Amino acid sequence: MAGVVSLLPAAASAQLTVTGRAASIRVGGLGQGQYSVSSIDAANNDFFVRRARLRMDATVSDFLRGRVVTEFGGGSGRILDADLSLVFSDAVVLSVGQFKRAFDLFELPNPSQTPEIERDGRIEGYSACAGVGSVCSYSRLTEALGFAGRDIGVRLDGTSGRVSYIASLTNGTGINTADENDAKSFSGRVAYRVNDEVVVGGQMALHDYVDADGNASALGFGGDVEVGSWLDGWHARGAVVGGDNWRVLDPGTQDPASFLTFQGIATYYYPLQDSRFAGIEPLARVSWADPNTDTDNDAGLLFTPGLALYISGRNRIAANFDIYSPQGQDKEFSFNVQTTLYF
């Protein structure tokens, strides 16, 4: 593509901007390498590429823009985001394509903006949470039950004053997957900025799925609060989500089980007066999840202490120690070290 190439200042993450044909295209990327060791004897403890992403944001006009994000990792590649957006105003933006569902405070940010290494606290070789596998954690339930994560459809979002919203209507089958029925899934989220430091939000979703009687819908709902901001002193987020675990059905009635989960993450960013390192950030996460509130001894508690050393901007080296305590079973753990290259 012929055009004019320019580099933004380092403070703007030095993303590459290319102007050519009918659009101005901003190109960026993300690379994360990881080492993981697990307490499960059968697990592989190794080095691997967690994800490598290339992102292109195209601006055709003030009214029309789009995005394409590709990811490589685990020996395969896939499209994460591919959407076209019509910007009617700051309060009304209509998008069509593949994107993240409008639900989760912890899922909506991209991996370069999440202080924890693994959102769901996965422990390689462990898969015992009812219906969803892996460990019983907040993000494992919201992702595996289809309330959070990427899907294909239409989305409406915007901001007006202190209020922001996002709503989506999607296939319900997830990333790069054709629909399995004629029903659609809905999710919506509204947030209110109380002041410069505090934002409160709420979300609701109806996820369609196929059961023995045909099409059915599972309800997910919750609320959250965020205090502070990323890379600026204290930053704390907390959320509670409940609803239907449609992956665990009553054998007689085919009704889904009820689940409940909460999570809190707190960090503190210390800037460093050093030419090589920008700051250091300790982390603490607590995540509890019960995949079936009608069954005893199936919940789990995840605790994650961690530390990140920032080199510049979002570029960092981080370590997390995920400790999982399932009810009625022995504790398991995973230790992860991850590098993040953001450009």
Confidence grade of residue 14 (pLDDT, cut at 50, 70, 90): low
pLDDT tens profile 70-105: 998 777 899 999 999 999 999 999 999 999 999 999
pLDDT tens profile 28-67: 999 999 999 999 998 888 999 999 999 999 999 999 999 9
pTM metric for this prediction: 0.91
> E strands along 39-149, which residues?
46-59, 64-73, 76-89, 92-100
**Which of 152-156, 210-214, 216-220 shows the lowest mean pLDDT across its residues?**
210-214
194: how many CB neighbours lie within 10 A of its CB? 11
**β-bridge partners, 22:** none
Q: Is the pLDDT of residue 5 over 70?
A: no
Query: Quick check: 335 and 320 in contact, CB under 8 A?
Result: yes
pLDDT tens profile 162-179: 999 999 999 999 999 999
Mean pLDDT of the chain: 93
The CATH number given to 4-342 is 2.40.160.10
Q: Is the pLDDT of residue 4 over 60?
A: no
pLDDT tens profile 259-283: 999 999 999 999 998 779 999 999 9
Length of the chain measured in residues: 343
Q: What is the average per-residue pLDDT within 123-133?
A: 95
Confidence grade of residue 18 (pLDDT, cut at 50, 70, 90): confident
Q: Is the pLDDT of residue 22 over 90?
A: no
pLDDT at 11: 41
253: how many CB neighbours lie within 10 A of its CB? 7
pLDDT at 15: 65
Query: Which of 56, 55, 71, 72 has the alpha carbon at shortest distance from 21?
Result: 56
Give every CB contact of residue 313 below 8 A, 6+ residues apart in sequence.
10, 13, 278, 342
Confidence grade of residue 319 (pLDDT, cut at 50, 70, 90): very high
pLDDT at 2: 38
Q: What is the average per-residue pLDDT within 291-298?
A: 95
